[in-house]
């Protein structure tokens, strides 16, 4: 039936041309998303320093000062610098130009994708806290900047990210007793293990 319709309304040449154009468009779309001409992120880029308060806690851990209490209040800029430090240390992570802001009882993280032919703004909104000596985090929403991601895609991304936010898998070197969000700040209290 279909071949009868094609034979009647479309010549073989027109059908082949349509298939070729469709393949070219698909190839162009895929090339745009992941161009082989785009190199890997600069693996030799300098790693920005850790915020001073974080470096001080890291020093306590390195010195083996077990049982010592610590407290720090990180500003939005400190949190942004902290994330930038870890992103620069691992160039395989696909984000750059990260900004972290504490708004109300939520963290809002804005970033730009890297390593793709097309850069996209990404926004992640979530909550954090501490329980049983460990920090916890939960992503509540993801979007492309201010543009919402369709619900079924968003739900799948949020579910996968949240499944990976298990801090018990890491030796943090500290016990986190409290993690509280304030106006543009994150307060963290804990003890060196």
> Which tens digits make up the pLDDT trace of 59-75?
999 999 999 999 999 99
Positions of E strands within the chain: 69-75, 95-103, 106-113, 121-131, 134-144, 147-148, 174-182, 185-192
Per-residue DSSP letters for 47-61? PPPPPHHHHHHHHHH
**Hey, what are 44's tokens?**
């030799």
Nearest to 133 by CA among 57, 182, 78, 188: 188
Residues 68-107: tens digit of each pLDDT:
999 999 999 999 999 999 888 888 888 899 999 999 899 9
Per residue in 6-23, pLDDT (tens digit) is 444 444 455 444 445 444
For 131-179, write each residue's pLDDT tens digit: 999 999 999 999 998 999 899 889 988 998 898 888 998 889 999 999 9
Query: What per-residue string of b and e applies to 73-96 under the rule 16 or more CB within 10 Å gives b?
Result: ebbbebbbbbbbbebbeebebebb
Residues 120, 126, 131: CA angle, nearest 5 degrees: 145
Question: Six-digit token pair at 140?
Answer: 């509540």
Q: Considering the chain, what is the average pLDDT of its residues?
A: 82
- The pTM of the full predicted model, rounded to 2 decimals, is 0.75
Question: Domain residues of the chain, as ranges?
Answer: 2-33, 52-192
| d(C-alpha 183, C-alpha 104), whole Å | 6
What is the pLDDT, as a whole number, of residue 42? 52
């Amino acid at each position: 039936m279909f071949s009868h319709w094609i034979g009647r309304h479309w010549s073989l040449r027109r059908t082949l041309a349509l298939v070729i154009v469709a393949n070219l468009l698909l190839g162009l779309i895929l090339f745009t998303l992941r161009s082989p001409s785009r190199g890997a992120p600069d693996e030799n880029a300098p790693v920005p320093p850790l915020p001073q308060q974080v470096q001080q806690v890291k020093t306590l851990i390195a010195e083996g000062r077990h049982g010592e209490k610590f407290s720090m209040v990180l500003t939005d800029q400190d949190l942004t610098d902290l994330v930038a430090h870890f992103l620069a240390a691992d160039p395989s992570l696909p984000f750059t130009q990260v900004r972290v802001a504490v708004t109300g009882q939520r963290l809002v993280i804005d970033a730009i994708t890297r390593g793709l032919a097309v850069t996209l703004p990404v926004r992640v909104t979530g909550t954090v806290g501490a329980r049983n000596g460990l920090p916890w985090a939960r992503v509540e929403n993801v979007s492309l900047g201010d543009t919402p991601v369709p619900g079924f895609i968003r739900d799948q991304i949020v579910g996968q990210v949240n499944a990976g936010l298990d801090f018990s898998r890491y030796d943090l070197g500290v016990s986190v007793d409290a993690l509280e969000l304030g106006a543009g700040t994150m307060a963290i209290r804990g003890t060196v293990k």
